[in-house]
Structure 1
Amino acid sequence: MDLFSHSWSALLGAVAATPDEDFERPSGCSGWLVRDLVCHLVVDAQDVLITLVTPAEGRPTVDAVTYWRLVGPPAGEDPLDALIPRLAAAYGEPRLLKFHLDDVGSAAGRAAELADRTRCVRTRDEVLTAGDYLSAYVLEWTLHHLDLVAHLPSAAGPPAETLGAARAALEEIAGTPFPAVFSDGDALLIGTGRRAPTDAQRAALGDLAAKLPLVLG
């Protein structure tokens, strides 16, 4: 199974199925509405397109796991983070935002299908194979799918296969597995600080609790 395509198609489908009135609801990304998250996905899709046509010479410097950097909690100083809500509001109507994401997102999906996954590409001053780059984005898409449906209880969540793959990636980043009693969704949400653990979950985490949240950048 191509997990990049599977996770991306599921996320695009979930956005398309989101009623317009729900675009004003909060998302799972702190401080962002659903419309802001969808606007961020447009930027992400553009990044995929740009990266896949930016070939690189030399050996990879990162892989699908080490591509992700652990960063501190958002300080509100990232210009792009500040731009996203203003840009999302400028669309005016959710249908325009949906259209743009479908347009750019479909192109990103086709580019991924056509990419030579053994070829090296450059992004963020790093070199990695196109295959590793696309694999890294399975974690991104799955987390943002969880963000999309965080306050939309009737919406479809991420596929089980991509939840499992994203959890495995986050466990590699953490350097240790999450407790077996955690569902994949719980591991991802608690591991990245999107949800606080219950007392029982914190006890199950043991020493891992001190490493959390894993804020990725």
Structure 2
Amino acid sequence: MDLFSRSWTALLTAVADLPDEDFERPSGCAGWLVRDLVCHLVIDAQDVLITLVTPAETEPTVDAVTYWNLVEPPTGEDPLDALIPRLAAAYGEPRWLKFHLDDVGSAAGRAAELADPAVRVSTRDEVLTVGDYLSAYVLEWTLHHLDLIAHLPSAGAPPAETLAAARAALEKIAGSPFPASLSDEDALLIGTGRRTPTDTERTTLGDLAPRLPLVLG
């Protein structure tokens, strides 16, 4: 839960520090501008709030790793994916997006800090403990932090400890470690298809290379 707070706080801070002109730059999510990604984070924060107040009585069906499904790469045809850019544009000025993310995002952060990690909650037709749910989101926040700064070299990077935790989670999902020669950031970018590996990196990846990218849903 501490890693959840660190990763989320770092991401909220990075967004808050962005100058307005950066909202029109591309993000690391293909087809999305930075403003679109920030709008997606608002929805993610709402999902966290909803899940934390949706208790479940049955046994957990997934944990922090099996919460994630491997899916086909997005085609842009998903209705929600198509909605995000229109919704982001409707905010007009970046300050309103910043305000909404800070408002909802801060509430999600406080709710996470107050939640009992042993309590079971329901989301996406699955049941898991709060602790596992928040642990799963360390990967989500870290990947989206990398998406945010993909074309913004001056923006703040994710904390080293959350990069390491996100890498460890992705390795569990992959069922295999990434080569030690890859930094945590490179392992995450290459592993999820956000960056194409070089020939040398592909060779180093060995049997893992043909199984990449791991697209999470």
Give the superposed CA RMSD. Answer: 0.6
Matching residue's letter, 1:155: A
Separation in structure 1 between the aligned mates of residue 85 and residue 94 of structure 2, nearest angstrom: 13
In structure 2, the partner of 1:211 is 211
Matching residue's letter, 1:31: G
TM-score, normalised by the number of residues in structure 2: 0.99
Separation in structure 1 between the aligned mates of residue 197 and residue 123 of structure 2, nearest angstrom: 34
In structure 1, the partner of 2:176 is 176
Structure 1 counterpart SS, 2:121: strand
Cα distance, 1:156 vs. partner?
1.1
* Equivalent runs, 1:82-93 vs 2, <5 Å: 82-93=82-93
In structure 2, the partner of 1:164 is 164
Indicate the larger mover: 73-82 or 49-58.
Answer: 73-82
Q: Deviations over 1:175-203 (max 9, x none)?
A: 00000000000000000000000011000
Unaligned runs of 5+ in 1: none
Separation in structure 2 between the aligned mates of residue 52 and residue 154 of structure 1, nearest angstrom: 34
In structure 1, the partner of 2:123 is 123
Separation in structure 2 between the aligned mates of residue 141 and residue 75 of structure 1, nearest angstrom: 22
Cα distance, 1:58 vs. partner?
1.1
- Once the two structures are aligned, what percentage of the paired residues are identical? 84
Matching residue's letter, 1:74: P
Cα distance, 1:169 vs. partner?
0.1
Separation in structure 2 between the aligned mates of residue 149 and residue 143 of structure 1, nearest angstrom: 10
In structure 2, the partner of 1:21 is 21
Separation in structure 2 between the aligned mates of residue 173 and residue 71 of structure 1, nearest angstrom: 12
Q: Deviations over 1:20-59 (max 9, x none)?
A: 0000000000000000000000000000000000000111
Count of residues in Structure 1 that have an aligned counterpart in Structure 2: 217
In structure 2, the partner of 1:151 is 151
Matching residue's letter, 2:87: L
Cα distance, 1:70 vs. partner?
0.1
* Equivalent runs, 1:64-83 vs 2, <5 Å: 64-83=64-83
Q: Deviations over 1:66-124 (max 9, x none)?
A: 00000001022211100000000000000000000000000000000000110000000
In structure 2, the partner of 1:136 is 136
Structure 2 counterpart SS, 1:72: coil
TM-score, normalised by the number of residues in structure 1: 0.99
In structure 2, the partner of 1:194 is 194
Separation in structure 1 between the aligned mates of residue 80 and residue 73 of structure 2, nearest angstrom: 15
Unaligned runs of 5+ in 2: none
Separation in structure 2 between the aligned mates of residue 125 and residue 75 of structure 1, nearest angstrom: 24
Q: Deviations over 1:123-158 (max 9, x none)?
A: 000000011000000000000000000000111110
Matching residue's letter, 2:114: L
Separation in structure 2 between the aligned mates of residue 74 and residue 176 of structure 1, nearest angstrom: 24
Matching residue's letter, 1:20: D
